[in-house]
């Protein structure tokens, strides 16, 4: 019978150098990824809404849909999710607004995004590639890794 203890490391293939982590550790890692996937969409929306409000004075579902490359119906559905999560409010004919909770999340996401972009730029990634790659990385990186990124950047100053 195989143990789920963290010391249970088995070769992936006979003679291969790659090893599998213990089942519980691997399940935890995949669980973290699934959780990040479910929050990534909401984070992208609150970040964009905050940017639209700051730059345009309003965040209409039509503008959100165009900028995220989704249908108007998809934007409306996701804004409804934001409202249920207490992250946004919407007023008829006035667009979408963030609650305090939504503003705090947008700021956290924006800070995380900037940190990831800065690290990618520091290791030689072009500006456009760093911005595009950060859109994915920012949702999956752990707090410990973000702290290491910050230390790395401080050490370069």
What pTM, to 2 d.p., does this model score? 0.75
DSSP per-residue letters across the chain: ----STT--EESSTT-S-EEPPHHHHHHHHHHHHHHHHHHHHHHHHHHHHHHHHHHS---HHHHHHHHT--HHHHHHHHHHHHHTTSEEEETTTEEEE-HHHHHHHHHHHHHHHHHHHHHHHTT--HHHHHHHHHHHTTT--HHHHHHHHHHHHHH-
What domains, with CATH codes, occur in the chain? 24-99 (1.10.10.10), 105-156 (1.10.60.10)
pLDDT in tens, 5-55: 444 444 455 555 678 888 877 777 666 666 666 788 999 999 999 999 999
């Amino acid at each position: 019978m195989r143990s789920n203890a963290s010391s249970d490391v088995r070769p992936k293939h006979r003679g291969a150098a790659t090893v599998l982590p213990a089942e519980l550790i691997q399940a935890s890692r995949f669980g973290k990824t699934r959780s990040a996937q479910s929050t990534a969409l909401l984070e992208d929306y609150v970040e964009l809404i905050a940017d639209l409000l700051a730059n345009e004075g309003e965040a209409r579902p039509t503008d959100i849909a165009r900028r995220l490359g989704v249908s108007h119906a998809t934007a409306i559905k996701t804004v409804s999710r934001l409202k249920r999560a207490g992250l946004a409010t919407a007023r008829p004919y006035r667009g979408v607004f963030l609650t305090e909770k939504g503003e705090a999340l947008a700021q956290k996401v924006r800070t995380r995004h900037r940190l990831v972009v800065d690290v990618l730029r520091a290791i030689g990634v072009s500006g456009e590639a760093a911005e595009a790659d950060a859109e994915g990385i920012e949702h999956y990186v752990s707090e410990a890794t973000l702290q290491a990124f910050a230390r790395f950047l401080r050490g370069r100053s």
